[in-house]
Structure 1
Amino acid sequence: MWQLYQFPLCPFSRKLRLLMSEKNIAFTLERENPWDTREAFYLMNPTGRTPVVRHSEKGIVLADSKAIAEYFEETVDKNPMINGTATGRAEIRRLVALFDENFYGDVVAPLTMERMTKRIVLKEAPDSRILRAAMRLCDEHLDYVDYLIDNRPWLAGPTMSLADLAAAAQISVADYLGGINWSGHEQARSWYSVFKSRPSFQPLLSDRMEGVHPPRHYSDVNA
């Protein structure tokens, strides 16, 4: 069975949890705190970042969420998440990159630093200016999600894809950290509520980070 080395508020770990669940890939979770800098973990991934997957029986260790997602797409036929025409697959990959890079850099990374790392690790107060800037950028990203859902059933096209998983993973962490104002984003909220209702998403909603509590609406599939 696969072991997924992950951190509860790592959006890239969450993306893989969603992907593996949607494709019915059996796995166990192994908690890896980013501040522990365990030597054994660095031997699996020299960058020291989650996620990493390992299959001891097969002698396989894989790092980087994009590489791991592509591996499972190539080796597990069930429920393909990078599908359709060449143009459609390119659009899926474009949106995955947008959420994994832009949304993460603009929103999730600063929220994580200010509302988790500073509180738990650095014992510092958050910077309200950085938080306001992250939430403003989040609002702009949600405008784009609204636009996509206005024109497509799912973010990248007619069916659910890795783009939806990547977006939901990033948004879920931002939502947990209280960085999202859903007002005025009914299309994005509706799409996300559908995702929250999926069996693959339920374990994410029950995750809790010690010392950092989500807003009341976080676990409500109707919110």
Structure 2
Amino acid sequence: MTLKRTLHHFPLDPASRQVRLALGEKRLAFTEVQVRYWERPKELTEMNASGLLPVLVEADGDQQLVLCESRAILDHLEEAYPEPALLGRDAGERAEARRLLTWFDRKFDFEAGGYILHEKMEKRLLGMGAPDLANLRQGRDGLRDHMVYIDKLLQEREWLAGRKLSLADFAAAAHLSVIDYCGDMPWTGFPAVKTWYMKLKSRPCFRPLLTDRWPGLAPAKHYDDLDF
């Protein structure tokens, strides 16, 4: 019996994008189901009581494994499909990759990405009116502070966690790519981050993200340009 994977996700959700990148890098085929999560559809809450995305379903005949949210899915993919390894083989780099995964999903989202995406994307999806300029300014200020830190790491390392591409790179790229879609990435002044992002954009696993579009939310003109 052939294993079938179905990923329930929202194209402009950073957590969903992390999983899509990992699946693509590991060359694991999957079917996509795009979910309007803000409407809390019954099908989603039946799979994941929190109503959060992504959800990966692996079905093998009558057996079905439902994996909810990015960290659980990423851990499963590393355990079940260890090649290529996306946490590194060196203990230090694995620890650093895990630290940065948490950094982007908690600290970066809380201080930067969450403000920008709520004001530029979620408000439009929810019909909540115009962006709050004070919140946007706070998010953009936080983003620049994080860009200083990311650029410093990448001046010292080939990839974020060390010598090898890892889930840390996918976490960072997932968050930054959605902000870039919104046209709010301050690439000027951060050459190390821009070079790193260009390398990621050129990978086969990243190409599906560059074709993402959502009605009423047009991307920045340079969004899918590999030589932006």
TM range (shorter): over 0.9
CA distance in 1, matches of 2:128, 2:51: 22
Question: Of residues 77, 81, 85 in structure 2, which corresponds to 1:76?
Answer: 81
| 1:85 CA drift (Å) | 2.4
CA distance in 2, matches of 1:162, 1:112: 22
Distance in 1 between the 2:66 and 2:106 partners? 24
| Offset from partner CA, 1:68-94 (integer Å, 9 cap, x none) | 101110110221101222222111100
Which digits, 9 at most, give the CA deviation of each residue in 1:173-201, with x for residues without a partner? 11111221111011100100110111110
1:76-129 C-alpha deviation (Å, 9 max, x unpaired)? 022110122222211110011111111122222222211122223224111111
Q: What's the % identity of the aligned pairs?
A: 39
CA drift of 1:56 comes to 2.7
Instruction: Work out whether 1:11 is the aligned partner of 2:14.
Output: yes
**1:10 Cα deviation from its structure 2 partner:** 0.5
Query: What's the TM-score once normalised by structure 1's chain length?
Result: 0.97
Residue matched to 1:63: 68
Note if 1:204 corresponds to 2:215. no
Confirm or deny that 1:182 pairs with 2:187: yes
Hey, what does 1:115 align to over in structure 2? 120
Stretches of structure 1 lacking an aligned partner (at least 5 in a row): none
Partner of 2:197: 192
Distance in 1 (alpha carbons) for counterparts of 2:112 and 2:27:
30
Alignment of 1:104-143 (within 5 A): 104-143=109-148
Question: Is the 8 Å Cα contact of residues 115 and 212 (structure 1) preserved in structure 2?
Answer: no
The runs of 5 or more residues in structure 2 that have no matched partner are: none
Structure 1 runs (4+) deviating above 3 angstroms are: none
Q: What is the TM-score of this pair, normalised by structure 2?
A: 0.95
Task: Answer yes or no: is the 8 Å Cα contact 2:7–2:54 preserved in 1.
Answer: yes
Query: In angstroms, what is the RMSD of aligned CA positions?
Result: 1.1
Q: Take 2:11 and 2:155, find their aligned partners in 1: how far apart are those partners?
A: 31
Describe how 1:82-97 pairs up with structure 2 within 5 A.
82-97=87-102
Paired residues of 1:206 and 1:219 also in contact (CA < 8 A)? yes
